[in-house]
Structure 1
Amino acid sequence: MTTRAQVTTDGGLGAEATTLIGRRAETARVGRLLSGARLVTLTGVGGVGKTRLALRVARDAEAAFPDGVHVVELADLREGDLLAQRLCTALGLADPGRAGSDGTDVLAARLRDGQALLVLDNCEHLVDACALLTETLLRAAPGLRILATGRQTLGITAEHVFPVEPLPVPDPAGEPSLGELLGCPAVTLFAERGAAVSPGFAVTAENATTVARLVHRLDGLPLAIELAAARLRTLTPEEILHRLTDRFALLTTGSRTAVPRQRTLRELIDWSHALCTDRERALWARASVFSGGFDLAGAEAVCADADLPAAAVLDVLDGLVEKSVLTHRQHDGRSRYHMLETVREYGQERLAASGREGVLRRRHRDHMLALTGRAQREWFGPRQVEWFTRLRLDHANLGAALEYCLRTPGETAAGLAMAVAPRHYWIRARSLAEGRRRLGDLLAAGDGEAGPPRAYALATHVYLGILQGRPAEESLAALDDCAALAERHGDVHAASWIAHHRAMIATWRGEFAAAAELFEGARTAFRAAGLLDAEVECAVKQAIVHAYGGDAGTAARLCREVLTVTEAHGESWLRGLALFAESLLARRSRAPREAAEPARRAIRLLRPFHDWWDIAMCVEVIAWSSAGEPRRAARLLGVLHLLWGSVGVRLSTAPFMREEHGRFEEEVRAALTAAEFERAFRRGAETTLDQALDHVLDAAPPAPGERPASPLTRREWEVADLVAEGLTNKQIAAHLVIARRTAENHVERIRAKLGFASRSQLAVWAHRKREEGAP
């Protein structure tokens, strides 16, 4: 931050020059941690606000330390041998150098019998000296507490580490209201600092979206936000955002009273770079080719070479995490590493200067091509959810690799292969529009390239359009072109999928007999080619067609076959579709109430894939099953509106369900007043997807005033609450005084119980449940 820490003694801490924004929860947690731990180290990337947070904690704790709170700024100290002397000066002790001492004994004697708090600010460049001195002083002075800040830990036994994260930023994919944006700490900081340099500046409805994008691009990093706000003297928020393509040249107007390395963004990151070893600097630059994070296997595959062997990558990663260049997070038991965008752009500059950018980007492309190919090969099996989750985590990396293929001559074929493997990723990832756009761009760029890969990619492009609701005539004409290309090259694989896509169009049109015949032909071709997953997919869609078209016996037989095969292979997605087909069968056999249960079971299987398309069809059946409960039915219609909107298509229901959907909605509207229907509909539509599906999966709505039984134990609720507060597994373990592995197991068990694919989903759910008064 821009306020420099002052050296203080028993007289107390001075007043804050500026308001500390968005750190109330962190201040309380660090204060609680400091009350029980003798050494607490605040770590984090430069400019994240460690100093400001430490000073606030120290100020709040003054009363607990009768022998004083002493803040020592170490940024300008270059020699570790002088550390103890610097502390002696801060405590007002005589110069120990006159007696030939380094000052450690003098400090120990001064602190031995008292209760004092020592704040050591900016320890990272003196980490060895700080570690040795703090351990010595803690042993000598039982009443001493030390609060340290730095970009890396001190690494001694007594240390409790508290990572300081950037300020929360608005979700760029969301549409928050102006009030919600003004309540976001990063936006509040920009608005407050902006008003200080440009009187009259405020975040308004006109500039709110720009400011939200701006603070998001700045990673919520307080110093970067303050430097950007300082530019409001001469630029508008829109102009600042536009110029962030070179953030290091733009963000150069820090406070004149700040330490030199906090006056510009480049100097701030230069300081971190200088603290790294040669191998750490090399990995920092090379890993900047990743977008949105990476795992150890990715780092080893892309970044290793003779100078940085794969066997050494883990230790170098650990060093970058320790120095706060990277952050480490767990996702479904796998470690992933992330760079703030500011840190990543700095690394990209270094990579470009090294002359090896082209090599690293090609390695990154090769890694993603291998990853998607392996996902396709292992998709039909017990690791299906794991592979989907892994690809979703690497979604930004996939996009970066596809962009490389699009921009680089001769790489179109590799890009097409990556974009269609596994073939269902774009559908399941709620990215229909993006997948179709990327395929379209690659197909246009490689127009001169023919052959089987192009025929299959072209057919997939058409299929994504079918699912978006594009006109059937347009899609059929495009499939004719695909078929001609596949025939010209003898591509039986592409021809079989074209038959599948034609069957889908026939299903949308209600031409069930024709659809069943087309699915059967594609299924036979896939069986002959030994493609079991494609064969089973055609079988389950055949079952859906027969269930809706009236051939219940054939539909039931196909469902049994699909369920047998998918259960034997541990497959989830097609098993979910088979359960949906069973729900249609129950509906058609005049057992509407029984239809809801297999549909709910299907949703539980489909939910980890974010397969909102097929989940929406399941919700349709559940809604039809609630005809006797018009308010619940209206709310479910609202959920359907939400689901179809999230898919990003021009549909309000599956085309072959449209007629029955229309009749059902008319019946529900007739059973309620317009105001009652609208109120219930909005309850379903104006919520999150997770909240909506939580409601759908309740077997029955609770009676008025009744709360459903809690799915979590008391301890699991404690853990869920701490996740909602933003604590890491390590922090949860420290807070509850349990092993870190135990905390990790609790979090994973809770997510498994609730069916959540991410930690953020759990956090939102826990926060909402507490607001509702859950136990």
Structure 2
Amino acid sequence: MRRSNLPAELNRFVGRTTEQAALTALLGTSRLVTVVGVGGVGKTRLALRTATEVQKRYGDGVRLAGLAPLRDPGLIAYALVEAFDLTDHTPRPPREVLVEHLAERRTLLVLDGFEHLVEDCAPLVRELLERAPGLTVLAAGRRPLRVPGETVFPLAPLGEADAVELLAERAAEAGAPGLPTAGTGVASLPGARVPMGISARTGATPTGAPDREAPAQSPAGEAEAVRELCRRLDGIPLALELAAGRLPLLSVEQLLRRLDDRFRLLADGTRGALPRHRTLRTAIGWSHELCTPEERLLWARLSVFPGAFDLDAVEYVCGGPELPPERILDLLGGLLAQSLLVREDGPAGTAYRMLDTVAAYGAEWLAALDDTDRMRRRHRDWYMGLATWCELEWFSPRQPEVAVLTEAALPHLRAALDLCLELPDDAHLAQHLAGTLWFAWVGCGRLSEGRHWLDRALALASDHEEARLKALWVLGYVAVLQGDGTAAVAALHECGERAGAARNPLAQAYATHRMGCLALLTDDMPRAEELIGRALDAYRELGELNSNVLMAQVELAMARAFLGDREGAGALSREVREICEERGELWTKAYALYVLGYLAWDAGAYGEARELLTACVSINDGFRDLVGLVLAVELLALVTVSEGDPLEGAVLQGAAVPVWDTVGVRRFGSEAFDVPRALCARRAEEALGAEAYRAAFRTGQGLSAAEAVERALLAGRNPAVGRSTEESAPRPFRAAGPAGVPGTRKPADSPTGKGGEAAG
């Protein structure tokens, strides 16, 4: 696990030396410090800067949790679990997972954007602080949490000197000429220049005629105008940055006159009467007025995005007769140039984000246009289409890209699910979307969150039987992997009964398949073989082929291997591996490699087993699939002992224990799946002696999941094979390029035919 997930600064941090020193000191004496202040005053930036500077104090790292995109209070704990890079497959409440993880760690949590969820956030923060004595929380918001022991740190706007420096620096970054900052001094950045045809210093128009509002000034007069502008904006950083975005086009005097006219209107002629929160609102409103009508409309429509968004999404969601899609890119560029948007380049490609304060202003305009509901539906429709596309592409060479794209789209998928659950007539859409995302819940390590959405969606009545059936078998699948047999049987039995009544043989096959999976994990191998075999027959008859179908074949291979049919198990697994390699599918392939690794070990081919299992570990680590990962690590421990290294084998065996604790019941409570562990323990202890074995085992227990993976992949060169695991194990996620829906300008169509996981 990374020690920090704090974002890198995109530009220089200006000023706040005194405030940063005071905040740093407070973190040494208080376990909960909340930076409070008006919107745009720089709370988040100061908190992140301070957290970066003090992170060496916290041996177990510094983590940022941004809550602004959330609407559902029930997701707060999930957001914190995600911030700590935890993957938990158990049915435990996420707050219990957090407490267990933090209980003996020294960690700093930076909590940002909690205001709208404060009633639910405060009790969770209090519980974490009470039960995790090494935890410190640095919160940033417009109001305190009101938790006992909280130290409130009010953040005032910038002083004049810092405000002038910030304005000058950001203006230079935007391409404006250097601003005089004190006396006749000029602040500029290398390369800053006056845009072609415009003199920001004299206010000349492209024709060369001076603007009568902005006569040429002396350097001293210009410096005073800069200071006056900073005073009129009350030193609020966001307001200053918005103003800086206009300085390539307007002189300071022009900008000051226009702003002063707006202030005078709002303050009813009383100079300086505006409180600071109205100063920011006025500055944002003034930026809004300076936008073109198309830019203003796009600004309003972008407010429905709860997180970073890409160009394709904006063109679909925000485009229309008033905003032709071909104009969107230029309009985004205009908003970006005015500091109303921030560009972010991540694993999923280039995206844009609107600051919360700016988005809130846009949301008010969208409401005034009476267009909020329509835009939220368009946003939902795009991401439902994206989920459908991702589900179909999961069974393809783009599977790693789908995992990355789904991760990036998670705030939007949550918002889409929220909207479906809000609207009584859209319950079937909630069930459809929660079911469509089975690959994200099961394949990408989000079983707990998937259970949250599936339970909520299925609690609603719906007349759309197909959507309910799919959500039911997906819920059953999730519950099986969580070790919740009662919930799994209930969901799968209901799915089977309803599918029979609805004459839906595909949904019935999925229900039968997952009942067979449950039998496999509870050691009823004959029943597992019978049920999974029946499901596979139905899949073949219906023409269904996808990752789930191939996984059924792997599960049948496991059942046959445990029943002693090694040859049959090997044939099934090799067939799956071949199909996966033809289709570019990795996730199911990893499970086929696990079975083949087990069979290779059983045949004494330890070098081959190691090669197969390290590839399996690598793939499962990339998908954050802890079930497949821990099974492979535990079997790899046995292979290592069999190769003659009982010490390393004991370490790997110990490393599997904390991973199992996040998965659920160890080895599913299955005697069959426990065989490799028991044999490894017996052989390692015989070779090392009880005391040395326990010491090595404890060493492994102390490793994080990431350290366990690294140990499994790089823990030494296998002399029998003669090459390192790094050479033999592919790393499919390390070089994946930007993900996206190629050539799309609208969401993918929902699948209606056979051949995709969406069926059923």
* TM-score bin, normalised by smaller chain: 0.5 to 0.7
Are 1:644 and 2:644 counterparts? no
CA distance in 1, matches of 2:363, 2:448: 29
**CA distance 1:624–1:366, change in 2 (3 Å):** same
CA distance in 2, matches of 1:313, 1:319: 10
Amino acid at match of 1:392: E
Between the aligned residues of both structures, percent identity stands at: 28
Aligned counterparts, 1:258-337, within 5 A: 259=231, 260=234, 262=236, 264=276, 267-268=279-280, 271-272=283-284, 274-276=286-288, 277=291, 278-332=293-347, 334-337=349-352
Amino acid at match of 2:654: G
**CA distance 1:550–1:427, change in 2 (3 Å):** same
Q: Once the 2 structures are TM-superposed, how far is the Cα of residue 598 of structure 1 from its aligned partner?
A: 0.5
Q: Once the 2 structures are TM-superposed, how far is the Cα of residue 310 of structure 1 from its aligned partner?
A: 1.5
Amino acid at match of 1:689: A
Contact 1:289 1:348 in 2 (8 A): yes
Are 1:497 and 2:485 counterparts? no
Q: Once the 2 structures are TM-superposed, how far is the Cα of residue 496 of structure 1 from its aligned partner?
A: 0.4
Contact 1:20 1:52 in 2 (8 A): no
Secondary structure, in 3 states, of the residue corresponding to 2:343?
A: strand
CA distance in 2, matches of 1:442, 1:497: 19
Are 1:399 and 2:411 counterparts? no
CA distance in 2, matches of 1:514, 1:14: 69
Q: Once the 2 structures are TM-superposed, how far is the Cα of residue 468 of structure 1 from its aligned partner?
A: 0.2
Of 649, 670, 674, the match for 1:658: 674
Amino acid at match of 2:287: L
Contact 2:159 2:235 in 1 (8 A): no
Contact 2:445 2:624 in 1 (8 A): yes
Report what 1:61 is aligned to: none
**CA distance 1:450–1:282, change in 2 (3 Å):** closer
Contact 2:400 2:732 in 1 (8 A): no
Report what 1:464 is aligned to: 478
Q: Once the 2 structures are TM-superposed, how far is the Cα of residue 663 of structure 1 from its aligned partner?
A: 4.5
Report what 1:487 is aligned to: 500
**CA distance 1:672–1:420, change in 2 (3 Å):** same
Of 638, 658, 668, the match for 1:624: 638
Report what 2:554 is aligned to: 540
Q: Once the 2 structures are TM-superposed, how far is the Cα of residue 490 of structure 1 from its aligned partner?
A: 0.5
Q: Once the 2 structures are TM-superposed, how far is the Cα of residue 629 of structure 1 from its aligned partner?
A: 3.0
CA distance in 2, matches of 1:650, 1:168: 28
Of 601, 605, 618, the match for 2:615: 601
Aligned counterparts, 1:546-625, within 5 A: 546-625=560-639
**Residues 36-86 of structure 1, C-alpha deviations (whole Å, 9 max, x = no match):** xxxxxxxxx8737999999xxxxxxxxxxxxxxxxxxxxxxxxxxxxxxxx
Of 519, 544, 561, the match for 1:531: 544
**CA distance 1:560–1:659, change in 2 (3 Å):** closer
CA distance in 2, matches of 1:301, 1:483: 38
CA distance in 2, matches of 1:701, 1:687: 20
CA distance in 1, matches of 2:508, 2:529: 17
Aligned counterparts, 1:20-35, within 5 A: none
CA distance in 2, matches of 1:535, 1:369: 23
Q: Once the 2 structures are TM-superposed, how far is the Cα of residue 616 of structure 1 from its aligned partner?
A: 1.6
Contact 2:630 2:656 in 1 (8 A): yes
Of 388, 393, 400, the match for 1:378: 393
Contact 1:548 1:585 in 2 (8 A): no
- Give the RMSD, CA atoms, in angstroms: 4.4
Q: Once the 2 structures are TM-superposed, how far is the Cα of residue 557 of structure 1 from its aligned partner?
A: 1.7
Report what 1:518 is aligned to: 531
CA distance in 1, matches of 2:463, 2:499: 13
Report how many residues are paired: 535
Contact 2:458 2:468 in 1 (8 A): yes
CA distance in 2, matches of 1:361, 1:187: 27
Q: Once the 2 structures are TM-superposed, how far is the Cα of residue 494 of structure 1 from its aligned partner?
A: 0.8
Are 1:698 and 2:714 counterparts? yes
With normalisation by structure 2, the TM-score equals: 0.61
Contact 1:210 1:237 in 2 (8 A): no
Secondary structure, in 3 states, of the residue corresponding to 2:384?
A: helix
CA distance in 2, matches of 1:539, 1:583: 16
Q: Once the 2 structures are TM-superposed, how far is the Cα of residue 495 of structure 1 from its aligned partner?
A: 0.5
Contact 1:584 1:595 in 2 (8 A): yes
**CA distance 1:266–1:661, change in 2 (3 Å):** farther
Q: Once the 2 structures are TM-superposed, how far is the Cα of residue 570 of structure 1 from its aligned partner?
A: 1.8
CA distance in 2, matches of 1:757, 1:636: 32
Report what 1:509 is aligned to: 522
Secondary structure, in 3 states, of the residue corresponding to 2:350?
A: strand
Report what 2:178 is aligned to: none
Contact 2:479 2:487 in 1 (8 A): no
CA distance in 1, matches of 2:16, 2:390: 57
**CA distance 1:52–1:406, change in 2 (3 Å):** closer
**CA distance 1:591–1:351, change in 2 (3 Å):** same
**CA distance 1:387–1:654, change in 2 (3 Å):** farther
**CA distance 1:238–1:673, change in 2 (3 Å):** farther
CA distance in 2, matches of 1:265, 1:326: 21
Bigger RCO of structures 1 and 2 (CA < 8 A, at least 6 apart) = 2
**Residues 314-341 of structure 1, C-alpha deviations (whole Å, 9 max, x = no match):** 1222233333333222334621223444
Contact 1:428 1:610 in 2 (8 A): yes
Contact 1:623 1:636 in 2 (8 A): yes
Q: Once the 2 structures are TM-superposed, how far is the Cα of residue 586 of structure 1 from its aligned partner?
A: 1.1
Contact 1:375 1:421 in 2 (8 A): no
Q: Once the 2 structures are TM-superposed, how far is the Cα of residue 282 of structure 1 from its aligned partner?
A: 3.2
Q: Once the 2 structures are TM-superposed, how far is the Cα of residue 582 of structure 1 from its aligned partner?
A: 0.7
CA distance in 2, matches of 1:15, 1:383: 46
Amino acid at match of 1:403: D
**CA distance 1:617–1:15, change in 2 (3 Å):** closer
Report what 2:42 is aligned to: 47
**Residues 77-127 of structure 1, C-alpha deviations (whole Å, 9 max, x = no match):** xxxxxxxxxxxxxxxxxxxxxxxxxxxxxxxxxxxxxxxxxxxxxxxxxxx
Of 377, 382, 390, the match for 1:367: 382
Aligned counterparts, 1:157-306, within 5 A: 169=64, 172-173=80-81, 174=84, 180-181=106-107, 206=130, 215=139, 218=140, 236=147, 259=231, 260=234, 262=236, 264=276, 267-268=279-280, 271-272=283-284, 274-276=286-288, 277=291, 278-306=293-321
Report what 2:747 is aligned to: none
CA distance in 2, matches of 1:255, 1:211: 30
**CA distance 1:342–1:467, change in 2 (3 Å):** farther
Of 344, 352, 355, the match for 2:370: 355
Q: Once the 2 structures are TM-superposed, how far is the Cα of residue 438 of structure 1 from its aligned partner?
A: 0.8
CA distance in 1, matches of 2:299, 2:344: 17
Consecutive unaligned residues in structure 1, runs of 5 or more = 1-12, 24-44, 55-166, 189-203, 219-223, 242-249, 712-749, 760-775
Secondary structure, in 3 states, of the residue corresponding to 2:424?
A: coil
Contact 1:630 1:672 in 2 (8 A): yes
Secondary structure, in 3 states, of the residue corresponding to 1:394?
A: helix
CA distance in 1, matches of 2:533, 2:479: 23
Contact 2:634 2:656 in 1 (8 A): yes
Q: Once the 2 structures are TM-superposed, how far is the Cα of residue 632 of structure 1 from its aligned partner?
A: 1.8
Contact 2:597 2:610 in 1 (8 A): yes
**CA distance 1:591–1:284, change in 2 (3 Å):** same
Report what 1:432 is aligned to: 447
Q: Once the 2 structures are TM-superposed, how far is the Cα of residue 254 of structure 1 from its aligned partner?
A: 5.3
**CA distance 1:426–1:170, change in 2 (3 Å):** closer
Of 627, 632, 635, the match for 2:651: 635
CA distance in 1, matches of 2:627, 2:492: 22
Of 419, 423, 433, the match for 1:418: 433
Secondary structure, in 3 states, of the residue corresponding to 1:577?
A: helix
Contact 1:635 1:680 in 2 (8 A): yes
Contact 1:207 1:237 in 2 (8 A): no
